Chains A and B, each alone.
Chain A
């Protein structure tokens, strides 16, 4: 078996001042080719988990290995960050440049590409996602769905080895969702997706995990599945014991 791309071991994290741990001895391994979905209630630490992988939150204990080597300092994280593409929950946080092409080229420019190379890379990615016409659009005038796709483009332009997608469908209409499903299924890349939407996750992932009280519940403990029956709150993911 090959080495995991991302390996978290016994990660614990509590926000300063908070008494409860948001991540509690959490372990996770992501291998090349994995397409993992993650479903969990709000506040269960999913976003914190992603931020820990990116080195934006430093865990209180536990170890992180990325591409086979341990990372703990800002320098070490800086070196691996560009190879992991984190797509933020709110596209407005991610798209901070005035125009679409500036934004998509921002990552490649930071990777050391020349302006022309970065522009070509940006155009290529926009074309792949079918939004080449947005190249010169002003970012803040885009619709919610367009912003989401541009955010994805800005992450893909860095040619990462793995994607972390935080609620990519939040607030999107079905048309854009379907488009996103199509795009993700055609990408040859590993990813971890957080979402509330069961149908979306099953359409794009091979495994679905759940998080509860700061831990990831593995397939043995919980398997989210669909079967038809009715009861109160039946539209939420739930465990049958």
Chain B
């Protein structure tokens, strides 16, 4: 279910220190989300495309990952240009497209697609294990990092338990439908997942105690030293700064 296929590559981006990638992803995403000018947004789009290219991800996998956002974008293009008030741009029979409506749609489209491409290029190219390590080195609180890694670790285990429970229910003739019986069955399945999760948590906690856990998290830090780290960091920061300044001056 969970595939971390994009993390397997060996591109320039994959070889960068995960910390550098996390910082860049945050910086670029927020700068991008706060921009309004079409010229600047267009440059961000190009920037995001360059990052995806640097990560040498095929168009197929990237488009697949973008599917949810593309569907969302399609939906807003069907609605917003016609419902938004403002100066009419185009009449299509009884419907009127307004200029502000179209501009809003265009802005959302560029922003959402670019932000997700930045995310895919910089973050989806590492495993959550690596990401957790990076967050730890970036001084994200230990508890939160531990929570993230532990949640990640047990998703596959619980997913498997769910499949087994569902199979057992099907073997006993369960056919889901829109009725109370089905909802109750799903409620019990979900309830069972939580119960098993809780029981497992006790066992895992015991296992941690057995291996000397005493309330402090220690971890193996393994920074990836790479000549490219400072170069990439500086390049991305400089570009983002230029775009932010341009955005501010444009107004």
Contact = CB atoms under 8 A, between A and B. Distances in A.
Q: Does A touch B (CB under 8 Å) in the complex?
A: yes
B127 A97 contact: no
Given A102-B220, A138-B127, A158 B211 contact: yes
B40 interface: no
Interface string A134-152: 0000111100000000000
A98 B152 contact: yes
A98 B127 contact: yes
B153 interface: yes
Nearest to B216: A110
Interface of A: 51, 54, 56, 78, 81-82, 84-86, 88, 90, 92-99, 101-102, 105-107, 109-111, 115, 118-119, 138-141, 154-155, 158
Contacts of B210: 54, 56, 81, 84-86
A94 B149 CA distance: 15
Interface centre among B4, B206, B209, B212 (most CB of A within 10 A): B212
A154 B127 CA distance: 22
A96 B220 contact: no
B219 A78 contact: no
Interface string B120-164: 000000011100100000000000000001101111110000000
B208 interface: yes
Contacts of A54: 206, 209-210
Given A98-B128, A99-B129, A111 B212 contact: yes
Interface of B: 4, 127-129, 132, 149-150, 152-157, 200, 203-204, 206-214, 218-221
Contacts of A139: 153
A78 B4 CA distance: 38
A82 B157 contact: no
Given A84-B210, A106-B208, A115-B220, 10 more contacts: A56-B206, A56-B209, A56-B210, A93-B206, A95-B153, A110-B218, A115-B218, A118-B220, A138-B127, A158-B211
Contact of A102 (B129, B154, B208): B129
Contacts of B152: 98
Contact of B157 (A51, A105, A118, A140): A140
A78 B211 CA distance: 9
Nearest to A85: B210
A92 B157 contact: yes
Contacts of A99: 129
A110 B219 CA distance: 10
Contacts of A84: 210
A137 to B, nearest CB: 10
Given A81-B212, A105-B220, A140 B156 contact: yes
A59 B4 CA distance: 45
A97 B152 CA distance: 9
A66 to B, nearest CB: 13
Nearest to B206: A56
Contacts of B149: 97-98
B212 A110 contact: yes
A102 B221 CA distance: 10
Contacts of B212: 78, 81-82, 107, 110-111, 158
Nearest to A82: B212
A94 B205 CA distance: 9
B182 to A, nearest CB: 30
A44 B128 CA distance: 40
Nearest to A94: B207
Contacts of B156: 140-141
Contacts of B204: 93-94, 96
Nearest to A140: B156
A97 B136 CA distance: 14
17 contacts: A86-B207, A86-B210, A88-B207, A92-B157, A93-B200, A93-B207, A96-B153, A97-B153, A98-B127, A98-B128, A101-B220, A109-B218, A109-B220, A110-B211, A140-B155, A140-B156, A141-B156
